[in-house]
Amino acid sequence: MEKGKIAGIIEALVFTAGNPVSVKELIAAMPDIPPEDIRIVLEELVQEYQCHPDRGLNLVEVAGGYQFRTRAEFAPWVLRLNLQKPARLSRASLETLAIIAYRQPVMKSEVDVIRGVESGGVIQTLLEKNLVRILGRKDTVGRPLIYGTTPEFLEIFGLKDLSHLPTLKEIEE
C-alpha cells in the first residue's frame, strides 16, 4: 500500500481515538500493512506536523501513544469556542500531585511529611480525577496504600513518560 494511504489511515485512527494510540494498537488495526512501514510513516507524519507551525495541530507522542494536540499558540481561540472551562487544580492538589509524580511509588504518610499537612482529602480528589492511582500496598506494618500517577496524568501534562518530567533544576530556573 502506498505511503499516502497509510498516512491517511493513521491520521484517521489517531484522530478518532479518545486516548493516545500506541504503535502496537496501530499495527493491530492495520494487519495487512508491514509494521515497519507503519512506524516509518508515523514518524514521517510527526515530522510533517512539526515542520508546519502555521497548522493548528501537532501529532505528538504522549502517555505511551500518539495523539493530535492543539498548538499552544492557538489556545485563546480554542478557549473562546469551548463552553466548558478546563479543570483547575488547587495549589494543594498540584503540590500533592508533584510529590507523587516525583517520588512514586509513595505512601500517603510520606506525602504528609513532605507537605507538612494531612493529604488524605487531596489524594482522594486526585484519585477521583484519575490523575493518581493505587499501585498496591507496602509490605510494612499496617500495609499502607502506595500511590503513583496514571496514563491520564501523562496525557494531560503532555508527557511521553515519567522520564520527561522536568528536573528540579529546570523547575528552579
| pLDDT tens sequence across 87-145 | 688 899 999 999 999 999 999 999 999 999 999 999 999 999 999 999 999 998 889 99
Rounded to whole angstroms, the Cα distance separating 26 from 43 reads 13
Q: Assess if residue 42 is contained within a domain.
A: yes
Q: Assess if residue 159 is contained within a domain.
A: yes
What is the Cα 30 distance to its own chain's centre? 24
Q: Assess if residue 86 is contained within a domain.
A: no
Residues 54 and 98 in one domain: no
Q: Assess if residue 137 is contained within a domain.
A: yes
The pLDDT of residue 96 is 95
Q: Taking the model in full, what pTM does it have?
A: 0.60
* Residue carrying C-alpha cell 530556573: 173
Last residue of a domain, one of 56, 81, 106: 81
Is 133:97 a contact under the CB 8 Å cutoff? no
**Which tens digit of pLDDT belongs to each residue from 31-89?**
999 999 999 999 999 999 988 888 889 999 988 899 998 888 888 888 788 666 666 88
The pLDDT of residue 83 is 61
Phi, psi of 21, rounded to the nearest 5 degrees = -105, 125
DSSP string, 44-62: HHHHHHHT-TTSSEEEEEE
Rounded to whole angstroms, the Cα distance separating 37 from 57 reads 23
CA–CA–CA angle 143, 122, 104 (5° rounding)? 50
The pLDDT of residue 84 is 61
Q: Is 121 helix (H, G, I), strand (E, B) or coil?
A: helix
Domain that holds residue 19: 3-81
Cell readout for 60 is 505528538
Residues 77 and 110 in one domain: no
Rounded to a whole number of angstroms, the distance between the first and last alpha carbons of the chain is 49
Largest Cα–Cα separation, the chain:
61
Cell readout for 108 is 500517603
Amino acid letter, residue 139: D
Query: The domain spanning residue 107 has which CATH number?
Result: 1.10.10.10
